Structure 1
Amino acid sequence: MKEKTLGSIPGIPVVLITLAVFLLAGWGIVGTVMGMFPMVTLLPSILAIVGGLFVLCGAYMVEPNQAAVLSLFGKYVGTVKDNGLRWNNPFLTKKKVSLRVRNFESGRLKVNELDGSPIEIAAVIVWQVNDASEAVYNVDDYESFVHIQSEAALRAMATSHPYDQHEDDQISLRSHPAEISEQLKHHLDERLTQAGVDVIEARISHLAYAPEIAGAMLQRQQANAVIAARTRIVSGAVGMVEMALAELERTGTVKLDEERRAAMVSNLLVVLCGDRGTQPVVNAGSLY
């Protein structure tokens, strides 16, 4: 069911004309009771009041960024988006739908990511109704539909990616927030299009390991950080040792045999790679 625009009549003139009819009809009833008019005017006056009340049933208010979906005895007639006091056939049923931008944060869901580790994840969804007729007639409750489908899409997306990146070309939940948000929005658009809802933005608002494995995963992350730091330190230390030996050979300051060269390399690596400052031992004798 696609939305179609329906024209409407400004409601203020209709209300003013109806009030004038009420005044005339009231004057006719009062005049008849007081004997000023013949009894024949009583029935038309009463009918005029009843008709005026019926006409007023066709007036309704449409606020900015709001639409009124109109149906006649269960058949969809059209959608009115003109703001202000409007009027249509009193027999038409009017259901108002907000077209404003809305957002909500999903509850923290506990799911297993791609590697099987339990995680907690939540997302902020920004959405808007862009087809009022589909929102009213394609689903029972479009707001509830948006919330439930958003959680389902978030679960599906979380289970298809790992928490941490293990390969260079792998998309993970923690290291690729932009790509994850785009995929989540795509999943939501596929699920919510039939309800006339457009997803403007979808972003992860909370991401963490589940409490039962958080401690173990923290130790793993710390271990990875230590290994990365040690790798960087050793790489830099080896480069500095190579540079020092090359400079000594170039200037001819000291000539070292293989044994002394190995000892010097070992000492330099201990100094450069150690966790704390080393305590040097000064050789007061000759080199050999």
Structure 2
Amino acid sequence: MSTTTPHTHEPEEHPESLPGGAGTAVRPPRLIHNEATTEIPVHLLFRDEGAPEARRPAVVNRRQGTGEHPRLGRPAPVRRRPELHPDPELQERPARVLPGAAGVLAGLGGVAGCLATTWWAGALPPYAGDALGLPLHPGAGLGAAQWAAYAGTGALGLFGFGGLARGRTGRAWVLGLFGRYRGTVRRTGLLWINPLLRRCRADVRLRHWRSGAVPAADANGVALRVVVLVVWRVRDTARALLGIEEHETYLRECVESALARVPVELPGGVRSGADAAGDALTRLVAADVAPVGVEVFSVQPVRVEYAPEVAAAMQRRRIAALDAQQRATMLSSVVDSVEDTVTRLTTRGLVELDDYERKALVRDLTVAFCSARREPA
């Protein structure tokens, strides 16, 4: 018999004689032994498949606390929500604009050019020439040159005055030309913008939106109606106005979607639970609306109540509980009154009652007291 050690040792071959008399070399079984397991023959860890040399390790369950590494299984696939990938070219960038003084000067230059062309053609009235300090000029009439001068100066005046715009704090202009995004104007004051560009006004101020009663549920799946207050603003005007049809409608739908995934606690619950629900709602809604250029700062429930059908059932249950409590209180009071009456009658010697008479008196007094308690005051 081989000697066991705390670790697996190399096998030794010893010739032994079989009962039949034929001496052949028999390999003794190899053993595994440590402080956490008993002696286990090594050959039990292998399965013979066909040839003796083709052996594969068998599946052995790992024991906790033995220091052995657990067998790693195949990780379960992680399902991820589809992410929005906005157009990388559709990103807010500043547009090229000029100060408003440039537009005013161009407009005044166009008006002055039209007056000069009129004086040149001799069509300027005498009182207008006197008011402007221009000498009388017989004029050459309205010819091709005069009409060309009118067209040039008129276009200059129209471009100068037509491109004037007023930039306001908290507002922005989103500019486009033939369906292509040309930039965003966030500057304030009097500006000159190319009048050929299409302008879309965007509100970039910090805004808040109070929702209506949105369906939700608590941790136990009970239907609720939640009113939330959302604090948000437009961060990227290009994506908010051009990347999506209605960014405000999309924000409302994202709030409803988040309420369907996050359990909301009632106001009477733990305050930390309500804060956790608000933080979870803020995180989900902010992640959903970020690709469309909207920034969400807070989504907090301001009113939480049961759904109408749940509220009606809970009201009936509450009324039944109050009625049962009132009945139990009334019955206890009646029993105490009957007991006190019978005890006082018998202890004072006013009446002598046997068991039958005592039961009848108790029954009559109970009916009388209950009838008196049920009568309206």
Same fold (TM over 0.5): yes
Shift of 1:139: 0.4
Match of 2:44 in 1: none
Q: Secondary structure at the match of 1:212?
A: helix
Residues 1:19 and 2:121 are matched in the alignment = no
Q: Does 1:214 align with 2:341?
A: no
Report the Cα offset of residue 109 of structure 1.
1.9
SS, match of residue 24 in structure 1: helix
Aligned to 1:84: 189
Q: Equivalent residue for 2:98? A: 9
- Select which of 186, 192, 195 maps to 2:289: 192
Equivalent position SS for 1:176: helix
1:38 and 2:140 equivalent?
A: yes
Q: Equivalents in 1 of 2:308, 2:93: separation in Å?
A: 51
The one-letter code matched in structure 2 to 1:28 is T
Given the alignment of the two structures, is residue 137 of structure 1 paired with residue 137 of structure 2, yes or no? no
Deviation per residue, 1:166-220 (Å, 9 max, x gap): xxxxxx7876221111111111101111121111221101101123222543687
Normalised by the length of structure 1, the TM-score is 0.65
Alignment of 1:53-202 (within 5 A): 53-157=158-262, 160=263, 176-202=273-299
Percent identity, please: 25
Q: Which has the higher contact order (CA 8 A, sep 6+)?
A: 1
Post-superposition shift, 1:70? 1.9
SS class of match (1:104): strand
Q: Is the 8 A contact 2:106 2:157 kept in 1?
A: no
Q: Partner residue of 1:270?
A: none
- Relative to its length, the structure with more helix (as a share) is 1
Count of residue pairs the alignment pairs up:
222
Q: Give the root-mean-square deviation of aligned CA atoms.
A: 3.3
Deviation at 1:45, TM superposition (A): 2.4
Q: Deviations over 1:246-281 (max 9, x none)?
A: xxxxxxxxxxxxxxxxxxxxxxxxxxxx99xx9xxx
Contact 2:165–2:191 at 8 Å: present in 1 too? yes
Question: For structure 1, which runs of at least 5 residues remain unmatched after alignment?
Answer: 166-171, 225-273, 279-288
Out of 176-185 and 18-27, give the one that drifted further.
Answer: 18-27
Structure 1 45/161 Cα, relative in aligned 2: closer, same or farther at 3 Å? closer
Gaps of 5+ in 2: 1-89, 124-136, 322-331, 337-377
Q: Which has the larger radius of gyration?
A: 2
Aligned-pair distance for 1:33? 4.5
Contact between 1:11 and 1:60, CA under 8 Å: does it hold in 2? yes
After alignment, is 80-89 or 37-46 more displaced?
Answer: 37-46
Deviation at 1:85, TM superposition (A): 2.0
Counterpart-to-counterpart distance in 2, 1:173 and 1:107 = 24
